[in-house]
């Protein structure tokens, strides 16, 4: 039985340092704001992309995918693992790209050993091996947000819940594949060379997004690329190198903040402010509360007006 896997964010900084924690070298992630071929080409080589989307909980399993075709042979000849535990899909999507690009990327001794150990396994046993890997699970969980509240992640989701899922897209053996641990096999989207991947993955992603209502915008897409600092050094672009170093510093700071629980700090700050106001006298405390209430009311009114809604006075008149 696998130990608990916590939820991690779909974030370029999280994924970059997660792989670094697993021993991977010279790889980073870049967030894609739009489906832009030029943006991808500027960051070549692109090893794959990881797509986060709202998962249709009530959807029944299909014998054929909505786009592409199942390739059961690829499940045996390439690294493909079934997802066997909740919350592991993000890291599993990263590894689905990474362990199929281990001839181009230095994945480190631990992940190389893991791939060799599971190479003869069927997809379901690979998934179990991944879920039970203490190294992978511990590094994954080290990037989860700290929370003082009870974790209900293990309860079964209902159709009313917002459930999100990660899938990976990468080129393998001259074809473009979608790697989804909840599917029985990799999904082939046709012929594709490594160099063609940035061009050919865009229409596949566009078709995927078009399945959702036009107002649905809850998607996230990150690309796995070579460490951009290497390219900056190769061409001698010091400004670009500086920007990438600053980006890394910001990622490290954000990842450090994720590990801390600020609820206690916030509570103590509020208590300190209240204690300070009470020391000025009961009258001053009451005035402070009244001032804060008025300020809040003013801000809410301004926010409603900005959105074209009625003010509190107008709402009171209507009642």
Q: Is 89 a catalytic residue?
A: yes
Q: Which residue has the tokens 């281990």?
A: 102
Q: Which residue has the tokens 């061409």?
A: 235
Query: Taking the CA of residue 153 as centre, how many other CA atoms within 13 Å lie in the half-sphere pointing to its CB?
Result: 15
Dist. CA 145–CA 260, nearest whole Å: 7
The catalytically annotated residue of 78, 89, 189, 192 is 89
Query: In the structure encoding, which two tokens stand for residue 235, read together?
Result: 């061409």
Longest C-alpha distance within the chain, in Å? 77
Question: Distance between CA 246 and CA 90 in Å, rounded?
Answer: 25
Cα 180 to Cα 178: distance, rounded to the nearest angstrom: 6
Sequence-distant (6+) residues with CB within 8 A of 282 are none
Q: What is the DSSP letter of 156?
A: P
Q: Are 50 and 168 in contact (CB under 8 A)?
A: yes
The whole-angstrom separation of Cα 282 and Cα 195 is 72
* Residues 194 and 41: beta-carbon distance below 8 Å: no
CA–CA distance, 304 with 299 (Å, rounded to integer): 9
Active-site pick, 78, 140, 165, 189: 165
Instruction: Quote the CA–CA distance of 24 and 47 in Å, as a whole number.
Output: 14
- 165 catalytic? Reply is yes
End-to-end alpha carbon distance in the chain: 58
The residues, ordered by sequence, that sit 6+ positions from 255 with a Cβ below 8 Å of its Cβ are: 13, 14, 17, 143
**Helices (H), ranges, the chain:** 12-21, 37-41, 72-77, 89-98, 108-118, 123-131, 134-141, 197-210, 228-235, 238-258, 263-279, 282-306, 312-318
Return the active site residues: 89, 165
């Amino acid at each position: 039985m696998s130990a608990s896997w916590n939820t991690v964010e779909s974030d370029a900084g999280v994924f970059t340092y997660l792989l670094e924690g697993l021993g991977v070298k010279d790889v980073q992630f870049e967030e894609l704001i739009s489906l832009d071929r030029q943006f991808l080409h500027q960051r070549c080589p692109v090893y794959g992309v990881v797509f986060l989307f709202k998962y249709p909980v009530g959807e029944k399993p299909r014998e054929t995918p909505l786009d592409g075709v199942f390739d059961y042979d690829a499940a045996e000849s390439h690294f493909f693992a079934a997802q066997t535990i909740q919350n592991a899909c993000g890291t599993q999507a990263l590894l689905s790209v990474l362990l199929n690009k281990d001839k181009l990327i230095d994945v480190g001794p631990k992940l190389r050993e893991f791939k060799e150990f599971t190479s003869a396994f069927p997809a379901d046993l690979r998934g179990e091996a991944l879920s039970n890997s203490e190294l992978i699970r511990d590094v994954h969980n080290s990037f989860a947000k700290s929370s003082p509240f009870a974790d209900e992640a293990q309860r079964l989701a209902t159709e009313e819940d917002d459930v999100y899922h990660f899938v990976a897209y990468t080129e393998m053996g001259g074809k473009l594949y979608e790697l989804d641990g909840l599917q029985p096999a990799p999904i082939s989207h046709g012929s594709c060379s490594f160099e063609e991947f940035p061009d050919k993955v865009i229409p596949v992603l566009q078709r995927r997004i078009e399945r959702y209502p036009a107002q649905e915008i809850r998607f996230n897409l990150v690309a796995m690329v070579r460490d951009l600092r290497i390219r900056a050094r190769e061409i001698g672009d010091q400004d670009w190198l500086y920007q990438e170093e600053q980006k890394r510093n910001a990622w490290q700071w954000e990842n450090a903040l994720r590990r801390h629980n600020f609820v206690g700090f916030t509570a103590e700050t509020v208590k300190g402010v209240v204690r300070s106001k009470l020391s000025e006298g009961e009258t001053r405390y009451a005035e402070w509360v009244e001032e804060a209430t008025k300020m809040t009311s003013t801000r809410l009114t301004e926010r409603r007006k900005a959105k074209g809604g009625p003010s509190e006075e107008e709402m009171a008149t209507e009642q």
